[in-house]
Amino acid sequence: MSAPLLQAEGIRVSYGRIEAVRGVDLHVGAGEFVGVIGSNGAGKSSLMRAIAGVLSPAGGRVAFGGEDTTGQPSHRMVARGLAMVPEGRMIFADQTVRENLLLGGYSRLRSDPQGVAADEDRMLTLFPRLKERLAQEAGTLSGGEQQMLAIARGLLSRPRLLVIDELSLGLAPVILDMLFPVLAQLNKEGLSILLVEQMASYALSVTDRTYVMENGRMLFDGASRELANDPRVLDAYLGRRKAA
Ligand SMILES: Nc1ncnc2c1ncn2[C@@H]1O[C@H](COP(=O)(O)OP(=O)(O)OP(=O)(O)O)[C@@H](O)[C@H]1O
Ligand SMILES: [Mg+2]
């Protein structure tokens, strides 16, 4: 069997004396849609930051595309094909929507301006709401539109793996009903996705496989379809209903 696209082994993340991630394994195969669920403070974002090169892990190893990328900074990871939509989206509020979007294609802007323009068009087809707002300051967008912009910006770097930390944060169900199918479509077209998601029911319905993380450790993982009926998941993350 060929090596997975992303393989993280024994990852540790510490902030001073706080051990946020305590030896975690996670992998994503090419073309896979993988979810991570867990309570607040479980260490999900810290793990994603270690994988995406936003921080250097205190221990463990990250391999992407078959090469050791442990501790490589995020711009190097983007160039290798791993883009992250961070928790809170990190939109530049006083720059226009278009300026924010083009940041995702920054490294190719000189060498391949036509390719970037074509990708920009594709993003605006994917998220038509951004099209009429291109010249607007990004801070004036709604939360849902900002999330669309953050995803489009990530996609503009032509990633093989898109990491999204908290897609649903602060968004109305009507927006989520639009965003999740877009991710499913992108995955169908071949993009691998690693999604951290607070709303477990959404995550389990759209992903192939899900990891459950608590207190800096992976508790278990499995096929999302099976975990959606697993008592451990029903009780802790889906608010199991009492039998009638
Ligand atoms: N920059 C930081 N400095 C110090 N401690 C931090 C920092 N970032 C996170 N932590 C701590 O690390 C632990 C894990 O936090 P992390 O944000 O990774 O969890 P999470 O699972 O993403 O939580 P949430 O669901 O609330 O987003 C928490 O105890 C948190 O307080
Ligand atoms: Mg988080």
Residue-averaged pLDDT of the chain: 94
11 lines ligand 1 (CB under 6 A): no
Among residues of the chain, what percentage have pLDDT more than 90?
88
Residue of 18, 40, 87 to mutate, ligand 1, most atoms within 8 A of C-beta: 18
Total domain count for the chain?
Answer: 1
Please indicate, yes or no, if residue 120 is contained in any of the structural domains: no
Domain containing 230: what range? 6-89+159-237
Average pLDDT over residues 220-232: 96
pLDDT band of residue 243 (cuts 50, 70, 90) is very low
Please indicate, yes or no, if residue 107 is contained in any of the structural domains: no
Task: Count CB neighbours of 2 within 10 A.
Answer: 7
pLDDT band of residue 109 (cuts 50, 70, 90) is confident
Calculate ∠ Cα 7-13-17, nearest 5°: 165
Please indicate, yes or no, if residue 140 is contained in any of the structural domains: no
Q: How high is the pLDDT of residue 240?
A: 66
The pLDDT tens digits of the residues spanning 111-129 come to 889 999 999 999 999 999 9
Q: How high is the pLDDT of residue 140?
A: 96
CA 100 to chain centre: 18
Which atom of ligand 1 lies at the shortest distance from residue 166's CA? 27
| 3-class DSSP string for 45-62 | HHHHHHHHCCCCCCEEEE
36 lines ligand 1 (CB under 6 A): no
Q: How high is the pLDDT of residue 108?
A: 84
Residue of 15, 165, 237 to mutate, ligand 1, most atoms within 8 A of C-beta: 15
pLDDT band of residue 106 (cuts 50, 70, 90) is confident
Which residue's alpha carbon is at the smallest distance from atom 31 of ligand 1?
Answer: 41
Average pLDDT over residues 187-199: 96
Q: How high is the pLDDT of residue 1?
A: 55
CB contact burial 168-193 (16+ within 10 A = b; e otherwise): beebeeebbeebbeebeebbeeebbb
Q: Estimate the share of the chain in helix, then strand, then coil, as percent rounded to the nearest 5.
A: 40, 25, 35
Which ligand places an atom closest to the C-alpha of 212?
1
Q: Backbone phi, then psi, for 85, in 5-degree steps?
A: -95, 105
Cα of first residue to Cα of last residue in the chain, in angstroms, is 46
Please indicate, yes or no, if residue 51 is contained in any of the structural domains: yes
Q: How high is the pLDDT of residue 168?
A: 93
Please indicate, yes or no, if residue 39 is contained in any of the structural domains: yes
Which residue's alpha carbon is at the smallest distance from atom 16 of ligand 1?
Answer: 43
15 lines ligand 1 (CB under 6 A): yes
Please indicate, yes or no, if residue 31 is contained in any of the structural domains: yes
**CATH number, residue 207:** 3.40.50.300
Beta-carbon-side half-sphere exposure of residue 92 (alpha carbons within 13 Å): 12
How far does the centroid of ligand 1 lie from the alpha carbon of residue 179, in Å?
25
49 lines ligand 1 (CB under 6 A): no
Q: How high is the pLDDT of residue 89?
A: 82
The pLDDT tens digits of the residues spanning 84-98 come to 999 988 999 999 999
How far does the centroid of ligand 2 lie from the alpha carbon of residue 137, in Å?
26
Average pLDDT over residues 146-168: 96
Please indicate, yes or no, if residue 150 is contained in any of the structural domains: no
60 lines ligand 1 (CB under 6 A): no
Q: Strands, E, within the chain: which ranges? A: 6-15, 18-28, 33-37, 59-64, 67-68, 82-85, 161-165, 192-196, 209-214, 217-223
**In this structure, which amino acid lies at residue 39?**
S
pLDDT band of residue 244 (cuts 50, 70, 90) is very low
Average pLDDT over residues 10-27: 97
- pLDDT for residue 180 is more than 90: yes
> Dihedral (C-alpha) 229, 234, 240, 244: value to the nearest 10 degrees?
30
Residue of 44, 85, 167, 212 to mutate, ligand 1, most atoms within 8 A of C-beta: 44
Please indicate, yes or no, if residue 110 is contained in any of the structural domains: no
pLDDT band of residue 241 (cuts 50, 70, 90) is low
